[in-house]
Amino acid sequence: MLSFILRRLLLIIPMALLVVTVTWGLIRIAPGNFYISERALPEAVERNIREKYGLDRPWYVQYGKMMWNIVRGDFGNSLKYRGQPVNEIIRRHFPYSATIGILAYLLALLVGLTTGIIAALKQNSPFDYGSMAVSMLGLSVPNFVLGPLLVLVFALWLFWLPPARWGGISSLILPVITLSAIYIAYLARLTRAGMLEVMRSDYIRTARAKGLDEKTVLLKHGLRGGIIPVVSFTGPALASLLAGTVVVEKVFAIPGLGNIFIQSVLNRDEPLILGIVAFLSILVMVFNLLVDISYGFLDPRIRYD
């Protein structure tokens, strides 16, 4: 088990470097440059800039230098936010994304799992039909529609909550709901399907034949097997929630990582792009590892070696 975790952790570094390399290649292939704007620059100025940032050197020298720095954990300074180290920018903006991300994740788990379990337990009941209809809606309404809609109703119409910006718990409610809606919907459906599948299995019939009541059968015998398909979804889900979703951050004017990432791409801010990409890919890989580890706790048949 321990050696499994160690091996997986060691694998994360080369994988992240690979992701960085591919991203770097794509940036270089794409037309345009960070210093190009509508106005053409005088040739002398351009030559100066290229020299200053080492762009006049052969590509492999540039690549080698960049990788050498990155391996030591230094992504350099942002090109747009002059003099600000990339690491510093990520450290400053990530907490915003992480806060609403974690809250949205917890909300999605709580509401999605409970709804799915109850719907499965009361299959074909009004609750089942109702919740599955609502979740279908949740899956089909995009969050750039849901967000403004919630703002309209709860902020501009009922005046219960602030429409946007960061500040206090009340400002978190709408973005968290907007962000988690689709995950709640998906989790509820996934949990329901998983539970229904398991509740048909032979060992559930055995549990019933023992005289156990339906609640024990479901929670003690059914739940574990039922949520295994859910677990594989929740790892990547948490990673993408933490990374911040651009749309929600834009709608609610939250200075999170998603917002910064879009800016960096628009600005061709190469060090910042690479820094965020590396950070996010590590995040995803760590959470996938956590998922794999939790499988081991859920299912005793899984062995790590």
Residues near other proteins (CB under 8 A): 201-203, 205-213, 216, 220-221, 224-225, 298-301
Q: How far apart are CA 130 and CA 139, in angstroms?
A: 14
Instruction: Give the three-class secondary structure for 187.
Output: helix
Longest dimension (CA), the chain: 87
Q: State the minimum distance, in angstroms, from the CB of residue 218 to other proteins.
A: 13
Q: Which CB, 1 or 36, lies closer to other proteins?
A: 1
Q: Give, as one character, the DSSP assignment of residue 40.
A: P
Choose between 28 and 122: whose C-beta lies nearer to other proteins: 122
Between 48 and 206, name the residue whose CB sits nearer to other proteins. Answer: 206
Report in angstroms how near the CB of residue 231 gets to other proteins at its nearest: 13
CB of 113 to other proteins, least distance (A): 17
Minimum distance between the CB of residue 206 and other proteins, rounded to whole angstroms? 5
What DSSP string runs through 236-274? HHHHHHHT--HHHHHHTT---HHHHHHHHHHTT-HHHHH
What's the closest the beta carbon of residue 305 comes to other proteins, in angstroms? 15
CA distances to 82, 145, 161, 163, 173 from 152, in Å: 38, 11, 10, 8, 14
Burial 157-180 (b: 16+ CB within 10 A, else e): eeeebbbbebeeeebbbbbbbbbb
Closer residue to other proteins, CB minimum distance, 8 or 224 = 224
14 vs 300 by CB, closer to other proteins: 300
Smallest separation (angstroms) from other proteins to the CB of 200: 8
Reading phi first (left if > 0) and then psi (alpha if -120 to 50, else beta), residue 238 is in alpha
Identify which of residues 193 and 212 has a Cβ nearer to other proteins in the complex.
Answer: 212
